[in-house]
Amino acid sequence: MAEHEHTESAEAFLPFALPDIDDAEIDAVVACLRSGWVTTGPTARQFEHDFAAYLGEQDLHAIAVNSATAGLHLALEGLGIGPGDEVIVPTMTFTATAEVVRYLGAQPVLVDVDPAHMNIDPDAVDAAITPRTRAIMPVHYAGLACDMDALLALARRHGLRVIEDAAHAFPTRHRGRLVGTLDSDATVFSFYANKTMTTGEGGMVLTRDPELARRVRLMRIHGISQDAFNRYVSRTPAWFYEVVAAGFKYNLTDIAAAIGIQQLRKIDRFARRREQLAQRYDDGLAGLPLQLPAHADAAAGDTHAWHLYVVRLAPDAPLGRDALIEALSQRGIGTSVHFIPLHRHPYWRDACALAPAQFPVAEACFERMLTLPLYTRMSDADQDRVIHALHALLA
């Protein structure tokens, strides 16, 4: 496997994530720059088309945006979330999931996660529903799908919208279907630098709802009506357009989309390598005082995207999480923590009047968790360095 054999010297720093970019992306960007069309145009449309084709459903709308945060904001806006509304969000996520609710003047209601996989706990969601609840935002933590059957059943029973934060979950299967094609109102993917595929910055909104798709497209670009703006089919003069809402500036450039098209062509290889690396960690770390991450239930038709490989230190481990991160860093190994639960951040603690005791599972997980390096360009030898370091420190 030549592609995995670019091992650096033993001293080189191993980051916890690294994008996998080669000449295909570089050539595509150069071609875009030479074409003279650098903002949203034919390449962004091609990327949307290719992305929907990958998910494999005819009636799916794919709308490219400049971040997942923007996509989540647009999806909530398009579904009419506003002041007085409550939206249920797991505390074990990145701040983007909750902040977009605040953008719209609505209230995020943080709930605890399930200890097995740290995905949102459907029972905690059930307990948090009030007459003001309008939506649930499940986050497919680390790349493993939430229990969507339970969440969608709750949503149907209470008339709630479901917007999936799928920033970690491309590609992830759930009950045999790809995330992005499940029965939620919208799904949003991220192409941030450390995600399973990247456009530098970028995201994609998926929905089957043609009205929502129309609204997201409109609000993505200043609320400028597409009907007048579409210069290829419109009979109105090219200079004419109509602003029909106070929209946003969330469009994806053709430069970024050119990268995305190339990344998408490699995504199955990327996914196989991530799966392989996760399996090698499982084998190499067995027997250490670590709780290894939950796997997908293959028999039920689930797969794991392995965006993150998150381990939890056992109570009897010889050193604590912070000390372990420091010791690994001294050996040139980068790690991270996903996530500092939202309720621990000053803004969310104060804005939502939260106390750690409300989130016993997230609290217990947070104290013990760290994210190990996992990226497609990581060689087996790179990974063995991490495994050996953990044996030296924990065995």
Ligand X SMILES: *Cc1c(COP(=O)(O)O)cnc(C)c1O
Catalytic residues: 195
Tokens 């084998």, residue?
283
The correct pick among 14, 28, 81, 96 for binding ligand X (CB under 6 A) is 96
The contacts of residue 131 (CB under 8 Å, 6+ apart) are none
The contacts of residue 323 (CB under 8 Å, 6+ apart) are none
Structure token pair of residue 174: 């759930």
Dist CA 236 CA 241 (whole Å): 9
Work out whether 184 is an interface residue with ligand X (CB under 6 A): no
The correct pick among 40, 93, 187, 251 for binding ligand X (CB under 6 A) is 93
Work out whether 251 is an interface residue with ligand X (CB under 6 A): no
**Which neighbouring-strand residues pair with 389?**
none
3-class DSSP state of 50: helix
What's the distance, CA 283 to chain centroid? 26
- Taking CB under 6 A as the binding criterion, the range among 142-150, 160-168, 296-304, 358-366 that sits at the site for ligand X is 160-168
Min CB(357)–ligand X separation in Å = 24
Min CB(65)–ligand X separation in Å = 9
Work out whether 139 is an interface residue with ligand X (CB under 6 A): yes
The correct pick among 28, 52, 118, 167 for binding ligand X (CB under 6 A) is 167
HSE on the CB side for 232, CA within 13 Å?
2
Q: Is the dihedral of CA 228, 232, 237, 241 positive or negative?
A: positive
Smaller CB distance to ligand X: residue 152 or 252?
252
Dist CA 359 CA 343 (whole Å): 8
Restricting to residues 28-87, name those near ligand X by CB under 6 A: 67-69
3-class DSSP state of 322: helix
Smaller CB distance to ligand X: residue 68 or 218?
68
Structure token pair of residue 26: 């570089």
Min CB(189)–ligand X separation in Å = 8
- Taking CB under 6 A as the binding criterion, the range among 30-38, 75-83, 92-100, 315-323 that sits at the site for ligand X is 92-100
Work out whether 146 is an interface residue with ligand X (CB under 6 A): no
Residues found near ligand X in the complex (CB under 6 A): 67-69, 93-94, 96-97, 139, 165, 167-168, 190, 192, 203
